[in-house]
Amino acid sequence: MEKPRVVITGLGAITPLGNSCADFWEALIAGRSGVAPTTAFDASKLTTRISAEVKGFDPDALFGRREARRMDRYAQMALAAAREALEDAAFPDDPDVRERTGVIVATGIGGITTIENTLFEVGPKQSWDRISPFFVPMLMGNAASAQISMNYGLRGPVFAVSSACASANDAFCIAFDKIILGEAIAVVTGGSEAAVIPTAMGGFCSMKAMSTRNDDPTRASRPFDKERDGFVLGEGAGVLVLEDRDFAIARGARIYGEVIGYGQSADAFHIAQPDPESKGVVLAMERALLRSGVTAEQVGYVNAHGTSTPLGDAAESQAIERVFGEHALSGALAVSSTKSMHGHLLGAAGAIEGIATVLALHRGILPPTTNYEFPDPECRLDYIPNVARKAQVDVAISNGFGFGGHNTTVVFARHA
């Protein structure tokens, strides 16, 4: 009996580059930046005053004011992205199918906007009676998955994943397994994050983790460039519909690509810093290749985690060298970080980067690393500098690494 296969049939995105997959992809290929001075709050007292915000997102228009007010921003964006993904997949309105369809949407922080707003509302007078009865349901990390499940009658495995900035990649892994094991015929999966708020940005500023190029926001995120000085915080959501291949073909679904495996590991090193020897990152990529049954030479593109931090980018680049060897150093392996344009979406990063990777395979165009001007001797690979590249690639990987030392690599393939 042939082993089950998992394909991607629907894509949805709410991002700093646009509030649809089409707009997101067009901006990526054009090399446009979504980074600008922060408008969500007065950031003038912070060392970093720029971010990659979602613009023009109107949850009241999408869901109605009453329902929108019962969801945190991260859940609103997840539900909007899921709506697009399910419509894009032309997913069947069949109770039997939806009973076997799961939802696994990741988040690194969950409803932190609700928490912060509520604390401001309570204030120094400790007016606890001002807390909304929807406070707990809104802040929950599983609220996005639950909202999607309830809105679309999806009764398969429904839960959330939270492993910092590896969260969405981990969600893909679990969704893949649920389908392979026959526990679901389809899974709506991805990630969402809404952390452009004072406490989150203030916390990252205290860590000195973010770029301080406040006077030049569009050029602030510069992965692998020698002048990089930290990441740019972003927000948004990405959702993909994964299906059993036989089911997708039987219903005549359009197929974007295939998930063929993954690898996971831990650094077991530091809560916030990457292992300078990159042992965990190497393990994740090696395990991904092994599980997928592909050789290093078959991989044509790496969608890098590439946050634009001095330590992280060097560690990842050197890990890619170790895993792919001459295939990487010769320029046969293309590497790029789309965070150069949309910033770092934390728990949702892997979701929109997974979409970018799938579309790169599907459309034969590799998105660039923008703002790449000054080569770093510690980063010696082909980073697709500044301009998108036409290239027909059959296999690609997407890396996601998170605080706590979580490393997850997902392998995508062009469908055949």
Residue 35, helix vs strand vs coil: coil
Per-residue pLDDT band for 125 (boundaries 50, 70, 90) equals confident
- The pLDDT mean for the chain works out to 97
The candidate with the shortest Cα–Cα distance to 187, out of 268, 289, 286, 259, is 259
Token digits of residue 84? 């697009």
pLDDT of residue 1: 66
The confidence band for 416, taking pLDDT boundaries of 50, 70 and 90, is confident
pLDDT at 237 (0 to 100): 98
Say whether pLDDT at 124 is over 90: no
CA distances from 107 to 145, 160, 164 (A): 10, 7, 7
Catalytic positions, please? 165, 305, 344
For the record, the structure tokens of 316 come out as 């990842």
- Is residue 221's pLDDT more than 90? yes
State residue 84 phi and psi, 5-degree precision: -65, -45
Answer whether residue 333 shows pLDDT above 90. yes
Q: What is the mean pLDDT of residues 36-64?
A: 98
Q: How many whole angstroms from its chain centre is CA 370?
A: 18
Report the SS3 class of residue 32.
coil
DSSP string, 192-254: EE---SHHHHHHHHHTT-B---TT-GGGT--TTBTT---B-BB-EEEEEEEEEHHHHHHTT--
CA distance 223 to 229: 9
pLDDT in tens, 270-316: 999 999 999 999 999 999 999 999 999 999 999 999 999 999 999 99
Q: Which domains, from first to last, does the chain contain?
A: 6-250 (3.40.47.10), 259-413 (3.40.47.10)
Percent of residues, the chain, with pLDDT higher than 90: 96
CA distance 166 to 180: 21
Task: Please check the confidence at residue 49 and state whether its pLDDT lies above 90.
Answer: yes
pLDDT digits (tens, 9 = 90+) for 6-19: 999 999 999 999 99
Residue 189 has pLDDT above 80, yes or no: yes
pLDDT of residue 2: 80
**What does the alpha-carbon distance between residue 152 and residue 148 come to, in Å, rounded to a whole number?**
6
Is 341 within 8 Å of 306 (Cβ atoms)? no
